[in-house]
Amino acid sequence: DQQVKQNSPSLSVQEGRISILNCDYTNSMFDYFLWYKKYPAEGPTFLISISSIKDKNEDGRFTVFLNKSAKHLSLHIVPSQPGDSAVYFCAASRVNAGGTSYGKLTFGQGTILTVHP
């Protein structure tokens, strides 16, 4: 049962344009969402996150949007750069009553982003 899904295995974008990566989830108990970036043969690195009490979080060129009613989130990268080419993973977790998540994450399958010069 895939609780977090990234339905696009790959995305190709021209340098300078916007990249939009999508993620859907089925478990309504998830209330914290994260995006990770991964290069081949390396560990994922954290990019940006969003709590379910928000619908948007922005950090430089990266913006994450959350639509709770649709159980959908997206990562926007603008402008896209060749160095952004990597695999992007969406992940979800639950925050406990103390207000922290233990970092136990459920990941999507990943989307390979290629940014062409």
Partner 1 sequence: DGGITQSPKYLFRKEGQNVTLSCEQNLNHDAMYWYRQDPGQGLRLIYYSQIVNDFQKGDIAEGYSVSREKKESFPLTVTSAQKNPTAFYLCASSSHRAKVTEAFFGQGTRLTVV
Q: Is the peptide bond before 79 cis (omega within 30 degrees of 0)?
A: yes
The CA distance from 46 to 28, in Å, is: 23
Does position 49 interact with partner 1 (CB under 8 A)? The reply is: yes
Q: Which two tokens stand for residue 107?
A: 């990941």
Segment 68 to 107, residues that bind partner 1, using CB under 8 A: 89, 91, 93, 99-107
Q: How far is the CB of 107 from partner 1 (least distance, A)?
A: 4
Of 41, 69, 83, 117, the residue at the interface with partner 1 (CB under 8 A) is: 41
CB 16 within 8 A of CB 117: no
Segment 14 to 33, residues that bind partner 1, using CB under 8 A: 32
